[in-house]
Amino acid sequence: MISTARIGFSLLLAAMLAPGLAAGAGVRDLTYRNGDVEIGAKLYLPQGRGPHPAVLYVHARRGWDAEADAQVRRFVAHGLAVIAPDYHSPRFIPAWPIEHDPATEKDVELAIDALKKIPEVRSDRICVAGFSRGGYHAVVLAARRSEVACVVTWYGHMVNPNAPEPVQVYRYAPEIEKISVPVMFIVGEEEQELRRTGIRRAYYALLKRGVPVELLMYPHARRAFDFRQDQREEEKLATIDAARRAADFIKAALRR
């Protein structure tokens, strides 16, 4: 289903009723290894008794920062546990890298195994949430790991960042053809055209195969609408609404 979200009374109501940013969420640091590389991650636990439904959060090209923490806390505010690896720092990758390091794919993937050691979460079925370049990691994991029960991407990159220009322009990641779990794409209507085109292609590829898929496109929302320093009022509302819809989508998928 393609949904162009309407900015109106329903979003205003959502803003008034939305939970806070889960400032009181339980957060602890953990580490796991990929061979000789130690990956640091944060584990966020919502209030209440577990085991909690779990999300693997994959940060954007900018790396792990305060904005990433805020994105994670929006999941936690809706009752979801989140593991959030910092997959740049262990390999000394600076913020905003141009090239994609394929070794980071395994670094992110092993967070799924790390979750299995956490008794407060349900780790047999998880959702992967990827932001921007993290969206590519999300579709790769959905194609590789049976524990992945759903995927949600925010303005996700739908092709290998190292692929040649014709592939970037005209194709999507081949892993899309291997995904069979529910997928939700979230993007702003004013996102850059190439990114929106890639997301639309991935959407229709999944739809053609009968995979449950939703595309949520917000009017008047620009690139990275959920953490911009110059957020419009519409983008603030879209941020709240997208978090609520994504949480509902994730919970429904993990209940199956």
According to the model, what pLDDT value does residue 9 have? 33
**Which strands sit side by side in the sheet containing 37-45, from one edge to the other?**
2-4, 213-222, 183-190, 148-154, 121-131, 52-58, 81-86, 37-45, 26-34
According to the model, what pLDDT value does residue 21 have? 46
According to the model, what pLDDT value does residue 19 have? 47
Residue 116 is given by DSSP the state T
According to the model, what pLDDT value does residue 256 have? 77
Strand partners, 104: none
From the first residue on, what is the mean pLDDT of each consecutive set of 10 residues in the chain (256 residues)?
52 42 75 98 95 97 96 97 98 96 98 97 97 98 98 98 95 97 98 96 98 98 95 97 98 93
**What's the sign of the alpha-carbon dihedral 91, 96, 98, 104?**
positive
Question: Contact, 141 vs 148, CB < 8 A?
Answer: yes
The Cα–Cα gap between 94 and 222 comes to 24
| Short-list 106, 63, 109, 66, CA closest to 86 | 63
The Cα–Cα gap between 47 and 256 comes to 23
Residue 167 zone, left/alpha/beta (φ > 0; ψ -120 to 50; rest): alpha
Question: Contact, 118 vs 29, CB < 8 A?
Answer: no
227 SS3 class: coil
Q: Which run of H or of E encompasses 128? A: strand 121-131
pTM comes to 0.91
Q: Is the previous residue joined to 97 through a cis bond, with omega within 30 degrees of 0? A: no
Residue 170: other Cβ atoms inside 10 A: 11
